[in-house]
């Protein structure tokens, strides 16, 4: 851990003081000068070093907490957090809702993203990745074998379907792709729920997952691209068919 002497001693000028303070602390975090799980100086010390009021420091810390960069532990202090996709997922979800994005919009995004994820996974998946994907496929097999389409069973299927796609993204070993894949989980779950209402759709999904897994195991990027494209297209076709029946 680096010495913090003078790290925060850059005085800020008027504008929105709390934003400047938050930006300074964020720079220190993203540059690695202060590290994950490091405790920040006290509110009093930060205010003194940065030449601002404690109110400004509180506003800045609140903004950093909303970004997921820090966490405050009552009675202990404020610590640097490891950033994950949760905060981004919530923001993306709200953006999708506020901008009236349709399932067609979401389908286009998945078609662009997941087709290449499948191809990259076929090239980069480790033996452990393949074991995880096999387990995910077996989980879907168990759900299909259970037969009765109860709400709980449907939800189990939806979660298992999502897990397979997330594991494919993980198998690319590109952390950015995994983060993007997980950005709008609720919207993706809604998409899967709507397309999985028919028993034949669930069985088709299982068949698709088996074939995609086989393509990954055979290291065949072209086959994986084609299979994933067909898989997502079928989901959208199923959704369109249900819409017409209403």
* CB hemisphere CA count around 136 (13 angstroms): 24
Domain boundaries, the chain: 17-80, 86-245
Element (DSSP H or E) covering residue 115: helix 103-124
**94: Cα separation from own chain's centroid:** 14
How far is the first Cα of the chain from the last one, in angstroms, to the nearest whole number? Answer: 61
Helix (H, G, I), strand (E, B) or coil at 240: helix
pLDDT tens per residue, the chain (246 residues)? Answer: 555 656 776 655 545 889 999 999 999 999 999 999 999 999 999 999 999 999 999 999 999 998 889 999 999 999 999 877 666 666 666 666 677 667 788 788 889 999 999 999 999 999 999 999 999 999 999 988 887 556 777 888 888 998 999 999 999 999 888 888 877 666 667 777 777 766 677 888 999 999 999 999 999 999 999 999 999 998 888 777 666 665
Superfamily of domain 86-245: GntR ligand-binding domain-like (1.20.120.530)
CA pair distance 79, 62, nearest whole angstrom:
12
Query: How far is CA 177 from each of CA 111, 112, 202, 212, 237, rounded to the nearest angstrom?
Result: 14, 12, 26, 18, 26
pLDDT at 169: 95
pLDDT at 83: 76
Q: 17-80: which CATH topology?
A: Arc Repressor Mutant, subunit A (1.10.10)
Query: How far is CA 154 from each of CA 118, 187, 195, 227, rounded to the nearest angstrom?
Result: 25, 16, 11, 23
pLDDT at 70: 94
pLDDT at 128: 98
Percentage of the chain surpassing pLDDT 90?
Answer: 53
């Amino acid at each position: 851990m680096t010495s913090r002497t003078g790290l925060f001693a850059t005085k800020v000028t008027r504008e929105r003081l709390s934003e400047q303070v938050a930006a300074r602390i964020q720079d220190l975090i993203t540059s690695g000068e202060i590290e994950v799980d490091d405790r920040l100086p006290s509110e009093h010390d930060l205010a003194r070093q940065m030449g601002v009021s404690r109110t400004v420091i509180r506003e800045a810390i609140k903004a950093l907490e909303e970004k997921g960069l820090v966490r405050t532990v009552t009675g202990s202090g404020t610590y640097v957090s490891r950033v994950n996709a949760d905060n981004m997922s919530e923001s993306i979800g709200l953006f999708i809702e506020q901008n009236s994005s349709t399932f067609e919009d979401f389908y286009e995004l998945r078609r662009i993203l997941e087709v290449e994820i499948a191809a990259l996974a076929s090239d980069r998946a480790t033996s452990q990745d393949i074991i995880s994907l096999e387990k995910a496929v077996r989980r879907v097999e168990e759900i299909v074998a259970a037969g009765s389409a109860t709400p709980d069973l449907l939800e189990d299927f939806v979660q298992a379907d999502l897990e397979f796609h997330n594991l494919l993204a993980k198998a690319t070993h590109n952390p950015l792709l995994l983060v993007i894949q997980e950005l709008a989980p609720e919207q993706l779950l809604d998409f899967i729920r709507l397309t999985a209402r028919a028993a034949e759709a669930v069985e088709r999904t299982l068949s698709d997952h088996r074939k995609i897994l086989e393509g990954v195991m055979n290291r065949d990027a072209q086959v994986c691209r084609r299979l994933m494209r067909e898989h997502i297209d079928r989901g959208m076709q199923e959704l369109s068919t249900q819409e017409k029946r209403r």
